[in-house]
Structure formats: C-alpha cells, structure tokens
Amino acid sequence: MNISQPVSAEVFSVNFGFYTSQEIEKISVKQIVNPVIFDYLGHPSKGGLYDLALGPVNRSTLCSTCHLDERYCPGHFGHISLPIPTYHPLFLSQLYRLLRATCLYCYHFKLSSSVVDLYYCKLRLLDAGLLYESQEIDRIYSKDDIEADDSNFKHNLSIFKRRESYVQECLTKSNIFLGGLMQNKLIDSEKRNLIKEFLEKIVSRKKCDNCSSISPNFRKDGYVKIFELPLSKKHQEQMNILGKVRINVLLETKENMGQKLSNGNDSLKYSQDNFRDKKSIKQDHFLSESAIYKTFEASNHPRYVLPTEIRNHLRRLFVNEQKIMALLYKGSYKSDNFSITPDFFFIDVIAVPPTKFRPASVVATDIHENVQNELLSKILQSCLRIRELNDSASSLINNKDYFENKDYNFDILINAFVQLQHDVNSFIDSNRNPTNLPQGRLPPPGIKQTLEKKEGLFRKHMMGKRVNYAARSVISPDPNIETNEIGVPPVFAMKLTYPEPVTPYNVDLLRHAVINGPAKWPGAIQVQLEDGHMISLLRKTFEERVAIANTLLISQTYRGTNSSFLRISSTNKKRI
C-alpha cells in the first residue's frame, strides 16, 4: 500500500464468501493438469504447480503472464478442473440434511407448503428487523390452520394470502423495505434459532405432506460417501399402488433441467430409452450406460449415490423452493427473479494459489516443493486416474470381456471417485482425512488449518520469553480497550513505529504527536517528506517541533519544493 496516497474511508463490515466455479476460471490464468512439478533438470514443468504462468519460482526466472521478476510479480491464480463434482467437506452435513428432507418424487420439502410458507414469512420479517411481528404470526394463525390438510387448495391459498397481507402491512407501517436491513444481536440470534428449528423440522417427515410419496432414506459414511437405503417391501408396494415413478436425474444437465422445470415437464423417467440418449449426458459425468444403470437401479442393498446425482436432486429442490432457499443461504430476500443454486455444496474447480504463496525451499542445490503442493499433487493424480479409467472403458466398450467384467470396472471407477473425494477433503480440511499416517505423523495442513493457526508474529516471537526487553501477553478482558485492540507496554509503544499519512481528518492528532516528540507518548520520532527526506525530531527543541507541526498540511511546493509531510507514529509495530 502506498501511504503517500491515503484513502479516506472506513470499513464498517466484512463479508466472507466462496468463489464459484465460473469466478475461479475467470481469475485463473492457466489450468493445471500435470502432477509433476519439476522436470529432470530441476525446471518447472509446463502445466504443473510451479508453471511460470503462476509467477516466477526464483530470482532467475520471469513470470510468463506479466513478465515481471520475483520482486514485482503479484502472483497469478491457476485452477484444477475436476472430472466429477465432489462434496464440499465444510457443507456436507447441511447438504445431507437437505437431501433427507427432499421428496424425490415432487422435489419439494416433505413439510407441507403452509408450514414452509410460515417460516418464509418469519424470515422476511426478521430480515426487516421486525422481531415482534415475526412472533405475532404464530398467535394470529392457530396450529389447526397451519397443520390443515394440504389437499384443500382453497384453504391453503387463503392462509398464504392472509400471511402475505400481514407481512406487507407490517413492512409498510414500519417504513422498512426489503433492500435495507435492520440488524442487531437479538434479531440475529432469533434468526439463527429459527433456521435451526426449520432445518431440524424438515427431516422429521417420512412421508411427503405434499404428494404422499415415501422417499428412500440416506446414510452418510464420514465425509466421503452417501448411500441410498432401499424402501421396505411395505412402502415399495404402496408406491407401486400409487403409480409413483422417480425421475432419472443422472441424465439431466443444468440447462435442460431448468427448462423442463420451467415448463412443468418431468418427462425424464427411469426407462431404457433415456439411458440411450447420449446427447443428454455431459461428458464430465464419466459414466458409461452400464454405470448409470448400476447407480440408479433399485436394489435391496444400500446403493452408493454419485455426487452428480445428488447435485441434480438438490438443483430441482432449489428451483421449487427458491424463495425460502434465498433467505436461508443468502440472508435477504431480493426479488422473484433472484436465483440461488446448490452448487456451493460441491466443488468441481479448485483454485491453485500463486507460486509466491507456495515457495519452494532450497537446501544447498536441492529444491524441495512446498507442503501444500503435496495435497494438490494428489488431487491431480486422482484426476488423471479417473480420466484414464474412462478412456480405457470407452476404448473397450465393444470388447466382450468388458461386459463380463463391467461390475469390476465400475467398482474401480467408484474407488477412484472416493479417492478424489479424500484428496479434496484433505486439501480443504486435513481433519476430514481418515488416513492413518505412520509413526504418528500429522497430515499436511489444509486450508482450514492454515486459517486457524495461532502462531502469529506476536505469539511466536514474544510469548514465553523470560529475558529482558521482552513483553509478556495476557489474554484477559479489559474494559479500557476494544475487542479489536491490543495493549502494549509504554516502553514498547515508544519504540515501535509505523508511518501514518497526514490528512485533514487526523492533522490535529498528528500535530499533537509531533509536538510531544519522541520522549513523550503519544509522540513521533520523524516527519517524512514526499520526496523521501526525513526530519528527525530527536534533537529538536519544543519551539522547533511546534513550527514543524504547524506546517504538516502545507505542501513542499508552497515552501519551494515538491512534497509534503508525513508523520511516523510511535503507537504500534514498526512497519518501515
């Protein structure tokens, strides 16, 4: 940051989010496909994790993207395209809960539409800061009305209209529109409790309250696999009597799914003709016809469900329950045209950090790769393994031995999918990797461990020291400082400095610091001009410091040169 050009702005809030696959591909400068990092001569491999397009590896190389050296290249992102989507390990528990709450026949929540609408209205009022009004809905509309038979369409329509009228009336009276939100701790707490209650309630139904269908249950195996449990004979007979047929979502893409749902057409049934429709299957599914049969066919045993199938299930759910999903996973209701998808539950593109943030360590003449590259290399190897299996299956599709061993080939492919999920979990969160390493060795830290580590500069270099000229930290509440502040002993505060630019907003504070000088806190030790010259205040008299303080806002052009003053503060860690 250039401190000679200060920005007069204040940060009020910070929001964190995740890049989508499209955003990662836009910021990426190259796709990484080669798991080999260095060649035999020790040079970065093309398409590898140290490709020069991501930045220079050492001082003797230049970045092939910006053509700058190691000192000036900011670094550039790359990306790894996964052959199949994988679960996001941080969101798998929530994905599993939504999957269990979904009716696999009508693709709505198993809860009745009137109950879902009740939570939808409550969340809208809470987003607008109307806590009392959100609780008033329960008193106005009794439990008998809420749990009425959903087959009575007129009754439900009346309830929806009364609730919508009440919500609009409350928003109009309070003069709060949905674009501007009022938030406080009480409302945030109530909203979290309401969302928790809703998520717990949607998994409580075995039979769908909307279409009376009985969907199979699911079982989660750690953070890697999800199995579909078969229906009992009794429930299967009931579904046969009702004539309910599930949709084969494996044959749907994101584009034709949205078109079919918008037209109200659920024509993709579980039939032989659909499996022969090769054009409707995306190439990145990496499944042959026999594999699709095996993954979707009914069985008396638990069936491994592909992430692609689960993603298509949730896509249908998000289309049908768009309004409540927009409030659950976006925080505010924007408009009817606003669309949210379940793609954030899955990972199909991984961002590769620039080379400068994964520096290779050099010992004598040997170059050793960064620890983070070990996790990325495993992901690349798993991707190549899946592509090789798919290519070999495609080349042997006309061979008789292939059909005799199709179950064996499919099991190998599924194991490759599971291994890729293991590698992605380890890259995001190493605690989600169940692999036991020899001799108590810890797995390489993932992204989550890197963000959570507490070995900062202050703790690492200052804590635990029992020598002179070293401070000790005490972690305890203090009513005199803010939660984002830290207390420093005066002897340290008068030695540690950092430059602070002079602006009309802080000139009075900086003048007071210059007048105090280096011997009094809060003070200053130097004044830096725009041309880089330093004026030391160490041997200046009180009158000289006052004269310098009075010229802080006067540029050097007014005094015969072409620069202005900057102040070096002594209230924090030195950053010069």
Say yes or no to pLDDT of 34 above 80.
yes
Q: Measure the N-to-C terminal CA separation of the chain; round to a whole number of Å.
A: 12
Closest CA to 449 of 425, 413, 477: 425
For residue range 315-338, list pLDDT tens digits in order: 999 999 988 998 888 744 444 445
Q: How far is CA 24 from the centre of its chain?
A: 12
Taking residues 350-379, report their average pLDDT: 84
The pTM of the full predicted model, rounded to 2 decimals, is: 0.72
Whole-angstrom distance, CA of residue 346 vs CA of residue 349: 9
Whole-angstrom distance, CA of residue 340 vs CA of residue 55: 35
In SS3 terms, 525-572 reads as EEEEECCCCEEECCCCCHHHHHHHHCCCCCCCCCCCCCCCEEEEECCC
Q: How far is CA 68 from the centre of its chain?
A: 31
| pLDDT mean across residues, the chain | 77
Domain ranges of the chain: 490-551
Q: Is 364 left (phi over 0), alpha (psi -120 to 50) or beta?
A: left
pLDDT given at position 466 = 56
For residue range 498-516, list pLDDT tens digits in order: 888 888 888 889 889 999 8
> Going by C-beta distance under 8 Å and a sequence separation of 6 or more, which residues neighbour residue 112?
147, 150, 209, 210
Whole-angstrom distance, CA of residue 538 vs CA of residue 535: 9
For residue range 189-248, list pLDDT tens digits in order: 888 899 889 988 888 888 888 888 888 999 998 889 999 998 888 888 888 888 888 888
- DSSP helix, strand, coil percent of the chain (3-state; round to 5): 45, 10, 45
253: confidence class by pLDDT, cuts 50, 70, 90:
low
pLDDT given at position 143 = 46
Per-residue burial over 509-518, b = 16 or more CB atoms within 10 Å of its CB, e = otherwise? ebbebbbbbb
* DSSP category for residue 379: H
255: confidence class by pLDDT, cuts 50, 70, 90:
low
Whole-angstrom distance, CA of residue 494 vs CA of residue 391: 68
For the beta carbon of residue 570, count every other beta carbon within 10 angstroms: 24
Say yes or no to pLDDT of 519 above 80.
yes
CB 112 within 8 Å of CB 312: no
pLDDT given at position 568 = 41
25: confidence class by pLDDT, cuts 50, 70, 90:
very high
CATH code for the structural domain at 490-551: 3.30.1490.180
In SS3 terms, 231-243 reads as CCHHHHHHHHHHC
For residue 522, say if its preceding peptide bond is cis, omega within 30 degrees of 0: yes
CB 153 within 8 Å of CB 357: no
Closest CA to 335 of 324, 323, 325: 323
Say yes or no to pLDDT of 70 above 60.
yes
